[in-house]
Amino acid sequence: MATILINNVEYPIPEGEKLNAIQMAQRVGVEIPYYCWHPALSVVANCRMCEIEVGTKDPKTGEIKLLPKLVPGCQTPAKDGTVLVTDSAKVQEHQRMVMEYLLLNHPLDCPVCDQAGECGLQDYSFGHGQSVHRFVEERSVNPRKDVSDSIQLNADRCIMCTRCVRFTREITQTGELQVTRRGSHAEIDVFPGMPVDNPLASNVVDICPVGALLDKDFLHKQRAWFLSKHDAICAGCSTGCNVSAEENRGQLWRYKPRHNPYVNDFWICDEGRYSYKAANSPDLLSAMYLRAGDDHKVSPVSETLRVVGDRLQGLTTAGGKIAGVLSPFLTVEEAYLLGRYLKSLSPANVLALGPVPVRGEDQTFTPDPIEGRTGDASFVVCQPFTIHAEKCPNRRGVAAVLEHLQGEVIPFEALLGRVKGGEFRGLYAASSAIEPWIGESEAQTIRSGVAFLVVQDSLVTALAQVADVVLAGATFAEKAGSYVNAQGRLQYAEASLPPREGSLPDLDILSILLNRPGDPVSSSEILAEIAAEIPAFATARGGSPPEYGVLLAGVEPTRKGPVPPPFVDSWFVAQGAARGR
Amino acid sequence: MQADDPNLKLIRPLEMSLADRLFLPAIVVGLGVTARHIAGVMFGGKAITVQYPEEQHITSANYRGVHRLNRDHEGRVKCVACMLCATACPAHCIDIVGATAPETWPDREKYPESFVIDELRCIYCGMCEEACPVEAIELTGLYDLTGLSREEMIFDKAKLLSVFDATRNQEPMRYGKPPVDPGSLHTTALPSQGPGPA
């Protein structure tokens, strides 16, 4: 077995992966500080922060020979017999020198810098730097500028790691950013009139290790340490990007991508990134309503749910059929409970998949291992990133539930025709769409086709205007549950906000309607039930899917080979007292 | 540690003498101290209480009273909305809304759009003052803070700046230059204000 010697301890090298010294050390819990290296970008070794002592061990004599000079860890492959020394006096002295050099021109404006608290310079300056500064000359000042409508560049804070430049060249292959001028005058810039406006542009803000590239949407609004992070799934399209939804004072402030090598790698698209705003909208439904004449009257939650239960029960016992519209914005658990509920009233009730919003075409970014790379990309595992045209998170999941409950998936249009034909007495429509999901004319068709209409939503839609009962459900940010993305991967999303005043999470509404006994319902308990009952979901057994999610049964994996552990730049990991927040 | 640990040392209370057990000598000594103070107040002018409110108490220089928000030499709020005071505050009584500084402030990047301190919630520990990197928030010697409602005791930015204007002569800023022309500033308490540069 291949082994590597790190700081005099021998570790086995994982097979089938090509790792560099930084990654190898990270796996065994040894930190090698770095700025310019990123696992998805080519190695340029220009920050010099990761330099360590490297050598070889003679397999016969056991003699260790170290190279006379320090070598960048990002460029050093972890091979059998390699020796790494990361904590010697020589390495520490070098790190101190690099820190002093990087901070030569860096302004001391941490109090007003948004990156403070998750800044590579702060963390490494504390860990590896020194408290004194010998530079007495005037610092070079580069003015603030906009590199796009959503990104601001504070060039004086930049340390020229060129991660952003490599991102636009290698991942999006649009190449808007580059380094202009040389030496201490070097500056990141765009060509005049050609801003960074690709669909993944704002990722450059996330990969910036310092506060040079800033998101104008988040600029100066919150401090990083005030935000509580929740592991969520973006509901903007069927890619199902893993995001960290960051909340403070009952409001979402931003999305940051989370690493998932199967789904979104390290990135999210700008459309998804700013889709969090829908959860903060002041226009969300804030109470449950009952129809009173031509108007709606606010009604207490318990009363409203009792009316829904009684009326639907009454309709079915009178022999009427009820239709359920399950929007692809529902989680798997909600779709299952709603389906169960309507089928338990009468097996003749019909369930349909709600309208699936499709906008534009799928757009895929395929980084190439060689093409467009600035430096050595041999450690990079290329992973395509797709922005799907299907703008809902869970069509596959809801469809799989419907497939099991009634053997077929009825599309919304077909159901609409049957509603028009007067087949149904009641209709239960459930959604938590980001945008209004049913138009004026469709709402009218449904209204005139049924006697009793229940709408469970978070937005005031055309359908809610004409409904008999309006149930205020949770938005995507307020509910926990699982989504199945376009490739068939079931992923769990945490709730990032508490339920709004006057609303109830969809899962609770449905469990009350179902009269489920016991404690307040939890999504993992329902998912465990689903996994035991529906063969397609058998892989989610136990109800708590692993970190990267699980593929539904019978779905071919898109990525083969070993799976790396989740990658987070060390400065985004809470340090010190912030760890407990 | 066990009760029979050899490292444990048993200390018994001192034996009390007869005088100690009577307590009378101690009472007399105690009354003597009281008498000495009475004499000091009546004849020696050594009273430490004052006839408030006719006479005002003068606080020590490091007394921690009502907060103020300092102004810089141009009369703008000195605060840069870094929220370190809000972070340091153990009572969570500071609420700041930061915003990008107006174009007309080339030397500044960020400023507080709103800065609110709940003076009722505050425990006057002075941690905000210590945390502030620009010496913008200071605790003044004002101690007689009263109000008729809870709302009145929630101080917004304008009110905190007016505390500065009212106390700038008695208690000069410890660091930095004060605004040049005090006459051009609002010196009376300002009404509640909406967001906007000040």
The pLDDT of residue B190 is 41
The pLDDT of residue A436 is 85
Are B133 and A111 a contacting pair at CB < 8 A?
A: yes
Residue type, A140: S
Q: Name which of A427-436, B154-163, B189-198 the model is least confident about.
A: B189-198
**CA dist., res. A64 & res. B97, Å (int):** 58
CB-based contacts of A219, cutoff 8 Å, min separation 6: A114, A152, B100
In chain A, what residues touch B109 (CB-CB under 8 Å)? 109, 112, 144, 220
Are A112 and B110 a contacting pair at CB < 8 A?
A: yes
Interface of B with A (CB under 8 A): 80-84, 87, 98-100, 109-110, 133-134
The pLDDT of residue B181 is 59
CB-based contacts of A521, cutoff 8 Å, min separation 6: A337, A507, A508, A511
Domain ranges of chain B: 17-48, 67-184
The structure tokens 């989610």 sit at: A540
Cα of B140 to nearest chain A Cα, Å:
24
The structure tokens 């209204």 sit at: A447
Reported as a single tens digit per residue, the pLDDT across A301-343 is: 999 999 999 999 999 999 999 999 999 999 999 999 999 999 9
In chain A, what residues touch B110 (CB-CB under 8 Å)? 112, 220
* CB nearest to B82's CB, from A111, A144, A221: A111
Are A225 and B82 a contacting pair at CB < 8 A?
A: no
Q: What parts of chain A have a pLDDT lower than 50?
A: 581
Six-digit token pair at A259?
């690493």
A506-513 vs A332-345: helix crossing angle, rounded to 10: 20
In chain B, what residues touch A220 (CB-CB under 8 Å)? 81, 98-100, 109-110
In chain A, what residues touch B107 (CB-CB under 8 Å)? none
The pLDDT of residue A277 is 95
Exposure pattern of A80-118 as b/e (b: 16+ CB <10 Å)?
eebbbbbbeeebeebbeebbbebbebbbebbbbbbbbbb
Complex confidence, ipTM: 0.86
* CB nearest to B100's CB, from A111, A219, A223: A219
Six-digit token pair at B57?
């108490």
In order of start, what are the domains of chain A with their CATH numbers? 3-99 (3.10.20.740), 288-358+397-551 (3.40.50.740)
Cα of B87 to nearest chain A Cα, Å:
8
Q: Which of A108, A112, A115, A227 would best serve as a mutation to test chain B binding (most B beta carbons within 10 A)?
A: A112
* CB nearest to B87's CB, from A220, A221, A225: A225
- Kindly identify which residue of chain B lies nearest to residue A108, measuring between CA atoms: B133
Does the pLDDT value for residue B184 go beyond 80? Answer: no
Q: Which of B87, B100, B128, B135 would best serve as a mutation to test chain A binding (most A beta carbons within 10 A)?
A: B100
Six-digit token pair at A438?
């049913």
Cα of A111 to nearest chain B Cα, Å:
5
The pLDDT of residue B182 is 54
Six-digit token pair at A352?
């349909």
The pLDDT of residue B189 is 42
Cα of A155 to nearest chain B Cα, Å:
14
Are B82 and A219 a contacting pair at CB < 8 A?
A: no
Contact in structure between A65 and A55 (CB atoms under 8 Å) = yes
Q: Please choose, from the candidates A9, A567, A546, A24, the residue with its C-alpha nearest in 3D space to the C-alpha of residue A258.
A: A567
DSSP structure string for A206-266: HH-SSSSEEETTTTTT--GGGPEEEEEE--SSTT--EEEEEEETTEEEEEEE--BTTTTBT
What topology is assigned to B67-184 in CATH?
Alpha-Beta Plaits (3.30.70)
**CA dist., res. B71 & res. B93, Å (int):** 21
pLDDT band at B195; cut points 50, 70, 90? very low
CB-based contacts of B41, cutoff 8 Å, min separation 6: B47
The pLDDT of residue A576 is 62
Cβ contacts below 8 Å, chain A against chain B, sum to: 26
In chain A, what residues touch B98 (CB-CB under 8 Å)? 220-221
Cα of B89 to nearest chain A Cα, Å:
13
The pLDDT of residue B194 is 43
Exposure pattern of B78-103 as b/e (b: 16+ CB <10 Å)?
bbbbbbbbbbbbeeebbbbbbbbbee
The pLDDT of residue A577 is 58
Six-digit token pair at A254?
């931003």
CB-based contacts of A480, cutoff 8 Å, min separation 6: A331, A492, A493, A494, A495, A505, A507, A522, A523
Reported as a single tens digit per residue, the pLDDT across B165-179 is: 999 988 888 887 888
Cα of B59 to nearest chain A Cα, Å:
32
Interface of A with B (CB under 8 A): 109, 111-112, 144, 219-221, 223, 225-226
Reported as a single tens digit per residue, the pLDDT across B84-122 is: 999 999 999 999 999 999 989 988 999 999 999 999 999
In chain A, what residues touch B81 (CB-CB under 8 Å)? 112, 220
* CB nearest to B82's CB, from A112, A144, A219: A112
Q: Which of A223, A226, A249, A581 would best serve as a mutation to test chain B binding (most B beta carbons within 10 A)?
A: A223
